[in-house]
A and B are shown apart, each in its own frame.
Chain A
Amino acid sequence: MHRVGPRRLGALFLLAGCALARPAVAAPWRPADDAQVLETLTRTGSAQALQQAAQAADGRDFTVVSRLVRAYIERSRREGDPRLLGYAEGLLQRWPDGAGAPAEILLLRATALQSRHAFDEALDVLDRALQQQPDLGQAWLTRATILRVQGRYPQAADACEQLRDRSAPFVATLCGLGVRGLAGERDDALSGLLAIEREAAAQAPAVRRWYQAELADALERAGRMADAERAYRLGLEIDPQDVSLRAAYADLLIGQARYEDAIALTDGYVRVDVVQLRHLIAQVRLGQVPHQAIDAMDETFRLARLRGQPLHQREEVLFALDVRRDAQRALAAAQANWQEQREPIDARVLLRAALAANDATSEREALAQIGALPVQDTRLQALLATANP
């Protein structure tokens, strides 16, 4: 009888598993045809255009650089494309830092930092810009935004008020109402927003869209979902490319279990990851499993973690909760996210993650943190009710 050593047999069993554990190897290929188009490029991202931009920056051509940087940041936000943000920062870094940098350049730098979620750095740069030019309205506005995201409402309100004499009073009012609504005056702020509806209709499109976004958020927190939905729709009519508005609207629909509506809403905008995420969540809720899209999103988060860039944490919480059903991962991401952002949605995902992880300590901590927030939010209240039956 042929004898296979039992020792080898045992080893084989163990090794079989290890061998299977090797990750799939990438498979590069050689195109057959010279004329085959491999990639569609953009003029903005072409080496020539970028070189010209670099020359403008080196030549201190402020007008050109300022226009380019704003365009890069704006497009980066719309298309969810970080490379454009990188190009903006690449240009800005050519400007010498120090007393010579004009306030406008500092403001642009701060805007780019904010887009990267480097909030504290952005605030520092804004302070410097405002020291140079205290009348720089945009700087106050950006400052107010960041402070609000960080949950620092009194300072945010102050920054909003600084806008009153430095820009359109409506902007200051809207900014202030937004902050007050989060700082414990939900119903008063909502009344205030509704009261300025007519005035809002007369504003520039960007301000009108902002108004609808604030209104939608306030209505949602007050539990008036149908009215909130109308505000979202109006906002998207003004600017269909507003991805954060679309994502927030999708969240509302998903919260109401209207998954097909959410899919229809997000369809066609999934090139941007915040929207793609909601699309995936709705699909998963309907029982579909788009493996490739899910894996692609997973790799995005994995690489972001590897790079140490905390840009995705709120999204990762939702992804872990609603797509991967991994409560531990969701909790870790939620806790990390909370260090950075404290908007109502961040509180909600933190609580959801703590509840899903079934971990009494984290739950207690989350409840304590959220309890310290002045925000009033019916969805948050509903979650709290499940935590304390």
Chain B
Amino acid sequence: MMRTFKLALCVLLGVLCAAPVAAHRASDSFVTLTVDGAPISGQWEIALRDLAAADPVDADGDLRLTWGELNAALPALRLRLHDWLRVDADGAPCTLVVDDLLVNDRLDGRYAWLSLSAVCGDVPRQLGVDYRFLADIDPGHRGILVLAVAGGPTQTAVLGPQQPRIVLAPGATSRLSQFNDYLREGVHHIWVGIDHVLFLLSLLLPAVLLRDARRWRPVPDLRTALVEVTGVVTAFTLAHSVTLSLAALDVVRLPSRLVESAIAASVVLAAANNLVPVVTRRRWAMAIVFGLVHGFGFASVLAEMGLPTQARLLSLIGFNVGVEVGQVAIVLVFVPLAYVFRHSTKYERWLLRPGSAILAMLALVWLIERAVGL
């Protein structure tokens, strides 16, 4: 009794003062299925460790899994596939086939990549997936399922002993938040960058036009357009540099939800101003006011990347310059084209007005999202 108690004590004491358990890289596999009409294709990525736990792939038992061994195990894996992963369409089972075996290096280790395909008769309205891999060996294991219609939105599900089966409608209209998740995935900085770019574009769209007696007319010469553009961009740059620096050096801090909402609002207003011109002559003033807000937005991106403790100022300047270069590139591309086409009656009708309208609507969506906190 005493001995088992001591043994148990050794185990439990480890977790005693601990309680903070190691942040685990849990056991997951990744099933990706794409529906393209009737055929379904995709892949199943299984961690080699998990495969070795489910099947004696290490044939010689030397604890080193070679490519030869993995390949040789493929016929057996094909036979067992049906026990582990099943797909059915509108209730009728589809035959899932392993077309190929490759290897994939993910961030947390090496996975077997099984290329899959299935033909399910007709175009499936409802796709059922049954996942039972490792359920009897490791109840903590999960299958992360990503289902997509070719070229369309994706749906994600987590399958495991608690939920071994899911039925999805592949063609379901994407929810707005799902669409945004897809965009947001790992490219946050571009997302933030886009609204700055669009704000700038909103201000630049009418730069090659003059508002005259409630009508738009093309500017008479390039110089006028350039003066306008320079004024707007310089004002925007100066303003956001100031607030970016203040925020990045922790002199001023604003809640990010407020900042992001204000940035979205600025795009709405700038775009709307093109449709119902309120500010016509001093767009640079708009650029300054809203530039101050955008600077805080840049700061949050910078914060996410983290300013190093050494060479902080230099990094800050570098980031700023990077932003400037990006803007200049856009201006250099957009303005000459806009100038060339400014005479076209279509410019106002097909670019300025619908372009601004689209920008305004897009920004309105962002504004609502960010304000509500989606």
Interface check A389, CB cutoff 8 A: no
Q: Contacts A300-B25, A357-B255: A21 and B187 contacting too (C-beta < 8 A)?
A: yes
Cβ–Cβ contact A323 & B306, under 8 A: yes
Cβ A6 vs Cβ B309 within 8 A? no
A243 at the interface (CB under 8 A from B): yes
Q: Are B257 and A27 in contact (CB under 8 A)?
A: no
For residue A208, give the distance in angstroms from its CB to the closest CB of chain B.
Answer: 10
Residues of A contacting B136 with CB < 8 Å? 54, 90
B28 cross-chain contacts in A, Cβ below 8 A: 303, 307
Return the CB mask of A8-43 against B: 1 if under 8 Å, else 0: 011001100110110110111111011111111111
Question: Taking the nearest CB of chain A, how far is it from the CB of B250, in angstroms?
Answer: 11
Q: Does B122 contact A (CB under 8 A)?
A: no
A325–B304 contact, CB under 8 A? yes
| Distance of A61 from chain B, by nearest CB (Å) | 16
With the chains together, A3 CA to B158 CA distance in Å? 50
Name the A residues within 8 Å of B311 (CB-CB): 287
Report the Cα distance A149→B144, complex, angstroms.
31
Give the distance to chain A from B337, nearest Cβ to Cβ, in Å: 7
Name the residue of chain B whose CB is nearest to the CB of A150: B19
Closest to B5 in A: A137
* B24 A311 Cβ-Cβ under 8 A: yes
Contact of B49 with A39 in the complex, beta carbons under 8 Å: yes
B53 at the interface (CB under 8 A from A): yes
- List which A40-75 residues lie within 8 A (CB) of chain B: 40-43, 45-48, 50, 54, 70, 73-74
Q: Mark B36-66, 1 if CB is under 8 A from A, else 0.
A: 0000000101001110111111100101111
B 235-278 to A, binary, CB cutoff 8 A, 1 in contact else 0: 00000000000000000011111000000000000000000000
Given the interface pairs A141-B9, A244-B17, the reply to whether A43 lies near B24 with Cβ below 8 Å is no
Is the C-beta of B79 less than 8 angstroms from some C-beta in chain A?
no
Chain B residue numbers with a CB within 8 Å of A148 are 19
Chain B proximity of A220: nearest CB distance (Å): 12
With an 8 A cutoff between CB atoms, is B35 at the interface? no
Chain A proximity of B334: nearest CB distance (Å): 8
Contact (Cβ within 8 A) A314 B20: yes
Asked if A127 is at the interface (CB within 8 A of a chain B CB), the reply is no
* CB contact under 8 A between A111 and B11, given known A325-B303, A358-B254: yes
Taking A23-B186, A30-B102, A39-B110 as contacts, is the C-beta distance between A77 and B15 under 8 angstroms? yes
* Residue from B24, B48, B55 whose CB has the most chain A CB atoms within 10 Å: B24
List the B side residues contacting A343 at CB < 8 Å: 19-20
Q: Which of A191-199, A289-297, A374-382 contacts B (4 or more CB under 8 A)?
A: A289-297
Per DSSP, chain B at the interface is mixed
Q: Please tell me if A105 contacts chain B, counting CB pairs below 8 Å.
A: no
Choose one: A31, A46, A142, A312; the contact of B103 (CB below 8 Å).
Answer: A31
B55 vs chain A, min Cβ distance (A) = 6
Q: Flag whether B14 is at the interface (Cβ < 8 A).
A: yes
Q: A9-B337, A29-B103, A30-B102 are in contact. Are A21 and B20 (CB under 8 A)?
A: no
Quick check: is A341 within 8 A (CB to CB) of the other chain?
Answer: yes
- Given the complex of chains A and B, what is the CA–CA distance between A251 and B12 in angstroms? 23
CB nearest neighbor in B for A35: B66
**Closest chain B residue to A115, Cβ basis:** B21
Most buried by B among A20, A90, A217, A309: A90
Would A13 and B201 be within 8 Å (CB), given that A82-B24, A141-B9 are in contact? yes
- Kindly report which residue of chain A lies nearest to residue B315, judged by CB atoms: A287
Tell me the smallest distance from the CB of B318 to a CB of chain A, in Å: 14
- B295 close to A (CB within 8 Å): no
Interface of A: prevailing SS = helix
Is the CB of B346 closer than 8 A to any CB of chain A? yes
- Chain A: which residue is nearest B183 at the CB level? A21
B213 at the interface (CB under 8 A from A): no
Which residues of the partner chain B approach A167 to less than 8 Å between Cβ atoms? 5, 9
A-B contact count (CB 8 A): 307
Given A7-B354, A20-B187, do A324 and B23 touch, yes or no (CB 8 Å)? no
Given A85-B140, A324-B304, A77 and B18 touching (CB < 8 A)?
yes
Is the C-beta of B84 less than 8 angstroms from some C-beta in chain A? no
Could you tell me which residues of chain B, from 348 to 374, have a CB within 8 Å of some CB in chain A?
350-351, 354-355, 358, 362
B227 adjacent to chain A (CB < 8 Å) = no
Tell whether, in the assembled complex, residue A6 and residue B185 are in contact, meaning their CB atoms are under 8 Å apart: no
CA distance A48 to B111 in the complex (A): 20
- Most chain A Cβ neighbours within 10 Å, of B18, B104, B187, B334: B18
A147 shortest CB reach to chain B, Å: 11
Smallest CB separation, B275 vs chain A (Å): 14
Q: Are A307 and B10 neighbours in the complex by a CB distance under 8 Å?
A: no
B68 — which chain A residues lie within 8 A by C-beta? 34-35
Q: Is B216 an interface residue (CB 8 A)?
A: no
Please give, as numbers and ranges, the residues of chain B lying within 8 Å of A86 by CB-CB distance: 27, 134, 137-141
CB of B70 closer than 8 Å to a CB of A: yes
Q: Please tell me if the beta carbons of A73 and B11 are within 8 angstroms of each other in the complex.
A: yes
B71 on interface, CB distance cutoff 8 Å: yes
Contact of B158 among A117, A289, A306 (CB under 8 A): A306
B289 to chain A, nearest CB (A): 23
Does B156 reach chain A (CB closer than 8 Å)? yes
CB within 8 Å for A287 and B309 given contacts A23-B185, A206-B9:
yes
Q: Are B67 and A303 in touch, CB under 8 angstroms? A: no
- A residues 65-115 touching B (CB-CB < 8 Å): 70, 73-74, 77-78, 80-83, 85-87, 89-90, 93, 107, 111, 114-115
Contacts A45-B49, A47-B54 aside, 17 further interface pairs with beta carbons under 8 A come to A21-B190, A21-B191, A23-B185, A26-B104, A29-B103, A74-B14, A90-B138, A117-B21, A210-B16, A273-B22, A273-B24, A289-B305, A300-B26, A307-B142, A315-B23, A323-B306, A326-B303
The 5 closest A-B pairs by CB, nearest first: A80-B22, A34-B68, A86-B138, A287-B308, A86-B140
5 intermolecular pairs with C-beta atoms under 8 Å apart: A7-B350, A20-B190, A21-B185, A292-B107, A328-B256
List the interface of chain B (C-beta within 8 A of A). Answer: 5-28, 43, 45, 48-50, 52-58, 61, 63-68, 70-71, 102-110, 113, 134, 136-142, 144, 156, 158, 160, 182-183, 185-187, 190-191, 193-194, 197, 201, 253-257, 303-306, 308-311, 334, 337, 341, 344, 346-347, 350-351, 354-355, 358, 362
